Structure 1
Amino acid sequence: MRVAVGSENPVKVTATRRAFPDTVVEPIGVDSGVPEQPRGREETITGARNRAGAALTQTDADLGVGIEGGVAPVDAAAGHFLIMWAAVTDGDRWGVGAGPSLRLPDDVAERVAAGEELGPVMDDLLDTTGVAKREGAAGILTGHAIDRESALVHAVAGAAGPFLTDRY
């Protein structure tokens, strides 16, 4: 089986490889069709679906995978959260799955709510570059108990369910 992932981000590619072991995974840069910083579940899921569909149509892969990280306010938990969603398609069927949701610290949430992107905000606060291509905000905000890759593996595996089992 060949799987095309709609991103060249090494963390997203490795997460897809972990969710689809013994499978050829081909990264391809595609547009998500949503803002660089998706806001809310709907926009984040739409970005993941757009990436999966574009990855599939632009390759001769069997499945297309899209992964999108976003931010969303959660009223019941009184805060802004980092959210992660993935989509998988074979062109006819779709699967979607989510990774963990992590509450953003107030100083980060304020900047994100004001319109900044999470990755650059984290880079600025940590005085570094490329956090999104390494441990991600997930790693920083959990003291490295999880990292971005492991969080995204769960989203991709959840989205892949309809293609990995006959339970759907």
Structure 2
Amino acid sequence: MKIVIGSKNPAKIAAVKNSFSHQAAEFCSLDIPSGVSEQPFSDEETIKGAINRAEGALLEGNGDIGIGLEGGVQETSYGLLICNWGALAAPGKEPIIAGGARILLPEEVVGRLRAGKELGPVMEEYAKKKNVSKQEGAVGVFTDGRVNRTEMFTHVMNLLVGQFNYHQKQK
């Protein structure tokens, strides 16, 4: 089975490989545009970015499965939460979607996002380290390393693969 990942981000690639570790698979990662804002500001926009990446990966990579993973933020009455969504696309089928963990962002970060900044660079400044979005992610910083970005996206991937496998068995 050829699985095409719509991102070159190491945390996302590792998450996909973690979720397919029980199956023989060939992996290919492509830099597929999300087609949404650099910083998605809603579940809807983040889901759309994940679907765009999954469908683009499937098409451009000529695989059996296309995967799109997208991080964003969601406004709530409690404040701004990080959100993460994934999509799995297979030929001739509607994409499968799944979402994952959410945590409240501190106002110091929220103000910069609302001013038009993207979470990745904001987190580099906030944590005073490089490549936060390719390593632990905001979730890793704000959970004191208890959950990192790869684990967060692995959870989403397990939800996607589980749904995909369930639907395959129902045929």
Question: Aligned residue for 1:15?
Answer: 15
Question: Aligned residue for 1:96?
Answer: 97
Question: Aligned residue for 1:107?
Answer: 108
CA contact (8 A) 1:138 1:147 kept: yes
1:89-168 map, 5 Å: 89-91=89-91, 92-166=93-167
State TM-score, norm by structure 2.
Answer: 0.92
Work out which of the residue numbers 36, 39, 43 in structure 2 matches 1:37: 39
Q: Cα RMSD (Å) of the superposition?
A: 1.3
Provide the rounded CA distance (Å) in 2 between the counterparts of 1:155 and 1:44: 13
CA contact (8 A) 2:127 2:141 kept: no
Q: What secondary structure, in the 3-state scheme, does the structure 2 residue paired with 1:3 have?
A: strand
State TM-score, norm by structure 1.
Answer: 0.94
Query: Runs (4+) of structure 1 moved beyond 6 Å?
Result: none
Q: Deviations over 1:30-50 (max 9, x none)?
A: 111001111100000000000
Q: Return the letter of the residue paired with 1:70.
A: G
CA contact (8 A) 1:95 1:160 kept: no
CA contact (8 A) 1:80 1:109 kept: yes
Uncovered stretches (5+) of structure 1, i.e. residues with no partner: none
CA contact (8 A) 1:72 1:83 kept: yes
Work out which of the residue numbers 73, 76, 98 in structure 2 matches 1:74: 76
Name the % identity. 36
Q: What secondary structure, in the 3-state scheme, does the structure 2 residue paired with 1:103 have?
A: coil
Uncovered stretches (5+) of structure 2, i.e. residues with no partner: none
Q: Return the letter of the residue paired with 2:150.
A: E
Q: What secondary structure, in the 3-state scheme, does the structure 2 residue paired with 1:13 have?
A: helix
Provide the rounded CA distance (Å) in 1 between the counterparts of 2:86 and 2:161: 9
Aligned pair count reads 166
